[in-house]
Amino acid sequence: MARYLLLKHHRGAPAPVNDVRMDRWTPEERAAHVQYTEDFAARLEASGEYVESQAISPQGTFVRSDGEGRPPVTGGPFAETKDLIAGWMVVDVETYERALELAAELSAAPGAGGRPIQEWLEVRPFFTAMPTVTE
């Protein structure tokens, strides 16, 4: 088994087919989307393929050290994760192809008008061992 991250983006990925931002959905449309995702996760939990998932808040700050004894530095001239990442699901599956299959199914969650969003999800494998660097 291998773990994969199915990463949902606010922006930065190609536009989905049903490209209506969630803040413009009705409460019923949001509820249907959440229910689809919860049902999807429950099915994967039953099959042993589910690890975890989270939707994340748009609030956030980049932070780095500015040296010992100095206050942390925040912000920067770059896109912040809060603008890019909407949430994720981690799956533990037999093959990369299965991870792609699950991401495609999750992409079909309903959105505005009850139509599938068909959003782009990023599929990334977890390292099983750190790669060897030879330079």
Residue by residue, DSSP assigns 38-97 as HHHHHHHHHHT-EEEEEE--S----EE--STTSPPEE--SS--HHHHEEEEEEEEES-HH
CATH homologous superfamily for the domain 2-129: Dimeric alpha+beta barrel (3.30.70.1060)
Q: What is the pLDDT of residues 77-115, one digit of tens each?
A: 555 555 577 889 999 999 999 999 999 999 999 999 999
pTM of the complete model: 0.77
Domain ranges of the chain: 2-129
Instruction: Say yes or no to pLDDT of 6 above 70.
Output: yes
Angle between helices 27-47 and 96-107 (to 10 degrees): 160
